[in-house]
Amino acid sequence: MTDSPDEYGELLRRALSAEANSVVPSPDGLEIIRARIERRGFRWLTWWRTGASVAGALLVAATIVMVVPQFREQVIPQVSTGTVNFTESTPPPDGSATSRPPAPPQPSSGPAQLPAVGRSEAGSPTLPPTPTPSRSTTPSTRPTSRATPAPSTHRPTPTPTCPTPLDDPPVDPSGISKQCEEAEATPTPTKTRPSAPSESPCSADECGPSDDASPPMPTEASIPAPTPVSS
């Protein structure tokens, strides 16, 4: 009985060997394997590319998210500070309107010109806003404008009223005073005249030495005068 399994085993062995020997693998098996390996590598490369692109997109998005808020935070304070400076630097612009509230109490008193001037001398930073309204509405503000332009002689405040006097005063202050007198005679500056004469506490000599001081009082009168002279 024990021999029968061996007999069948041997029969099975011979049959399997004969069947296996009839099998001849294709000769290009190695090339196929290498091609599959390369494809597998490309597949990994594709996954790597996909992952890298996704990671890059996430990085860019994160960068934007991180940068934009900072940018906003930086821009907002800059704008606020910029507006303040702008009002200070340029008295004529309307930005001074924001600073008017402090000014009204000053003009309330007509003869308050002197205190206004004193304030301007004392606190230069608060004064800048006042000069702008001074020119158009009240004379009291103009003296303040004098104080503010003092640091910057070429400030525009005098220019609108009388640009020429700025350069001329050093040349001939007396002539400026004359021109101012002539300007009073001329009709064109009449609109601004009323304010000018009221402010005129400073004499022509005073206006002469300070180029900036000239704008308030003499400027209005001098504006028309120099132009005809030069012409």
Examine residue 9 and tell whether it contacts another protein (CB under 8 A). Answer: yes
- Residue choice 12, 52, 57, 60 for contact with another protein (CB under 8 A): 12
The window from 22-30, 94-102, 118-126, 179-187 that contacts another protein (CB under 8 A) reads 22-30
The distance of closest approach from Cβ of residue 3 to another protein in the complex, given in angstroms and rounded to an integer, is: 10
- Min CB(56)–another protein separation in Å: 27
Closest by CA to 143, choosing from 218, 221, 222, 85, is: 218
Minimal distance, residue 73 CB to another protein, in Å? 51
Contact 166, 159 (CB under 8 A): yes
Q: Would you give the binding string for another protein spanning residues 24-53, x where CB under 8 A is met?
A: -xx--xx-xxx-xx--x-------------
User: Residue from 17, 63, 80, 190 that binds another protein (CB under 8 A)?
Assistant: 17
| Ramachandran bin of 86, using left for φ above 0, alpha for ψ from -120 to 50, beta for the remaining angles | alpha
CB of residue 12 to another protein, shortest distance in Å: 5
CA atoms in the 13 A half-sphere facing the CB of 92: 10
152: left (phi > 0), else alpha (psi -120 to 50), else beta? beta
- Measured between alpha carbons, how far is 62 from 41 in angstroms, rounded to an integer? 31
Nearer to another protein, 6 or 151 (CB): 6
Min dist CB 32 to another protein, Å, is 6
Tokens of 2: 């024990």
Asked whether position 72 contacts another protein by CB under 8 A, the answer is: no
CA distances in angstroms from 8 to 1, 185, 221, listed in the order given: 12, 143, 136
- Which residues of this protein are in contact with another protein, per CB under 8 A? 2, 4-6, 8-23, 25-26, 29-30, 32-34, 36-37, 40
